[in-house]
Amino acid sequence: MFNAVKRIAGSAPIWAWIVMVVCAVVLVVGLIVSSNRTAPTSDAAAAMTPTSSTPLEQPATLAFMEDAKAHAAEPRTIVLLGDSTGAARDGWAPKVGTAISQTLQRPMATKFWNTTTNDYGAMVGLGDGPNGPIGFWNGSASGKDANYALENLDKMIPADASPDLIMLNFGHTQDPKTALAEQLQPLVAQLRKEYPNADLVAIKQSPAQGKNTGEVTAGFASAMDAEGIQVIDVYSAFPTDDASLAPLLKDTVNPSPAGQQIWTTTVLKAFEVQA
């Protein structure tokens, strides 16, 4: 054995020995650290403190941003399912996409759902950057409800898409006589079945003019909380009296440019991104 070591020593260049020594040191240190992690003494365990103040559970929007920053090269996918309030091509949804793209320095492209063809239209760029791309499927369907999204789910979320975050934006097209959370339940159940790794976020929509939308959305946030679904409260960012609400709507439901800005700011706040 000694002669063999001498032969290796005689034939190996000096840099090789340096590498071997460094590797040996790293290996020993790694084994020590590993053993301390897997089998700490009671004294050591008592002295251990958390390395981060981040809570174990956090809103899905913030988890998305942190994960996207931590794994910058990996692609990400966002899906928005909802009604006309998120369908405008110059509305809050693409503006949110652009702001997220700029914050994460990731290229982002979106497609808008077409209710005439029951399919997506052409791809539209929302931003650029050196990191991994984000695909933003905007399945907002004017005049349609959650059942429509459920019926077209296989096309709204294509087979080659693996969503990380799914946002639900329903309310105005739903039955006002039935609790909103109850109406979303079949869609939520199917999404969790097909995309167990995706986080769900529900948007509490802005008020409608001439209607008591507070009754329709009553209990919605608490019901979603009970389901473990984050709620973005756009409703509370708007006034509820018709006179103040009128300039923020282009009709009785859909936001005007000023209303779109309130939507954008409120949704981006949930991502901790500035408008």
Cα angle for residues 246, 179, 232 (degrees, 5° grid): 55
The residues with which 203 forms a beta bridge, in sequence order, are 232
- Are the C-beta atoms of residues 141 and 149 closer than 8 Å to each other? yes
> How far apart, in whole angstroms, are the C-alpha atoms of residue 58 and residue 252?
35
Residue 23: per-residue pLDDT: 32
Residue 172: per-residue pLDDT: 92
Residue 274: per-residue pLDDT: 86
- Are the C-beta atoms of residues 57 and 45 closer than 8 Å to each other? no
Closest CA to 90 of 110, 64, 116, 108: 110
> How far apart, in whole angstroms, are the C-alpha atoms of residue 186 and residue 193?
11
CA end-to-end distance (rounded Å), the chain = 70
Residue 213: per-residue pLDDT: 59
Residue 218: per-residue pLDDT: 77
pTM, 2 dp: 0.78
Residue 275: per-residue pLDDT: 78
Amino acid code (one letter) for 103: T
User: How many C-beta neighbours within 10 Å does residue 259 have?
Assistant: 22
C-alpha distances out from residue 199 to 105, 158, 175, Å: 22, 17, 26
pLDDT tens for the chain, 275 residues long, are 333 333 333 333 333 323 333 333 322 222 222 223 233 333 333 333 333 333 337 899 999 999 999 999 999 999 999 999 999 999 999 999 999 999 999 999 999 999 999 999 999 999 999 999 999 999 999 999 999 999 999 999 999 999 999 999 999 999 988 999 999 999 999 999 999 999 999 999 999 987 665 666 778 999 999 999 999 999 999 998 989 999 999 999 999 999 999 999 999 999 999 87
